[in-house]
Amino acid sequence: GPITTDMKTLTEEIEKFAKDKKIEIDTLKIREEYRKEFLGNVSHELKTPLFTVQGYILTLLDGAMEDSKVRKKYLQRAAKGVERLIYIIKDLDLITKLEIGELHLEMEDFDIVELIESVFDLLEMKASKKRISLVFDTEYAEPIYVHADKEKIQQVLTNLLVNSIKYGQMDGTTEVSVENLIKNKVIIRVTDNGEGIEEQHLTRLFERFYRVDKSGSRREGGSGLGLAIVKHIIEAHNEKIYVESVVDVGSEFSFTLERARAPKGA
């Protein structure tokens, strides 16, 4: 039939579709609501960087191109905007896969200490721009083996550390620690001494696109999906994630993982 945006017709079509496929109508309606909200959020997120890039290109076409210094500066900024768009789209792709359960965990035993150190190396540059020191604190000097999806835990650590830098203060410190918990569990804590989060936001922090300071964090260039991705990954592991925070003192995000035995020969 003809494509229509008329809501009544759309609802009727959904109902017919559900009847044909013998799907429960409520779930479909919820899914449709969810899809609409998601799309609305997505276009909103993409708008800011797109307008920025468009702004630089139009200014260049408008004459800024004549000056070679200005030209280079504006092109670099446009490129940064495009880079941001790519980050947002990568996060969208990841959260979609996580939400529809398309991403499977590839469990292995690995040394979490080594992984933390490699994430530190990758973020050293970013941290040094705010003169933030990344500190690893552990009571054990030796490797700590965990059983998890290494690549996804790397993503979790990256998102938490990037946030601690973004919302951290100049000359601040981010500390990561690994401790034994009861039974075969370890707890990994990422602690910053940044701006902190007001208590009223803590329960909603892990929702997609939720932000404490709407303008502030968008300026910082995130997708608003970082913590939602973190929560999905940790819950897919059947583990837990916690947040504690005090305004102007700092925040601590922590999550549990299953401890593994050291491999033979290690």
Query: Given the rule CB under 6 A, which residues bind ligand ADP?
Result: 163-164, 166-167, 192, 194-195, 197, 205, 210-213, 217, 222-228, 251
Burial 232-248 (b: 16+ CB within 10 A, else e): bbbebbebebebebeee
Measured CA to CA, the distance from residue 72 to residue 60 in angstroms comes to 10
Give the CB-nearest residue to ligand ADP. Answer: 222
Q: In this complex, which beta carbon is closest to ligand ADP, that of residue 15 or of residue 213?
A: 213
Measured CA to CA, the distance from residue 163 to residue 130 in angstroms comes to 13
Closest approach of ligand ADP to the CB of residue 172, in Å: 10
Closest approach of ligand ADP to the CB of residue 3, in Å: 34
Q: In this complex, which beta carbon is closest to ligand ADP, that of residue 111 or of residue 195?
A: 195
Closest approach of ligand ADP to the CB of residue 49, in Å: 12
Cβ within 8 Å of residue 213, ≥6 positions away: none
Q: In this complex, which beta carbon is closest to ligand ADP, that of residue 217 or of residue 256?
A: 217
Q: In this complex, which beta carbon is closest to ligand ADP, that of residue 70 or of residue 212?
A: 212
Closest approach of ligand ADP to the CB of residue 180, in Å: 24
Cβ within 8 Å of residue 209, ≥6 positions away: 41, 44, 45, 224, 225, 228
Q: In this complex, which beta carbon is closest to ligand ADP, that of residue 81 or of residue 222?
A: 222
Closest approach of ligand ADP to the CB of residue 162, in Å: 8
Q: Element (H or E) spanning 134, and its range?
A: strand 133-138
Closest approach of ligand ADP to the CB of residue 231, in Å: 9
Measured CA to CA, the distance from residue 174 to residue 224 in angstroms comes to 21
Q: In this complex, which beta carbon is closest to ligand ADP, that of residue 68 or of residue 200?
A: 200
Q: Element (H or E) spanning 73, and its range?
A: helix 68-99
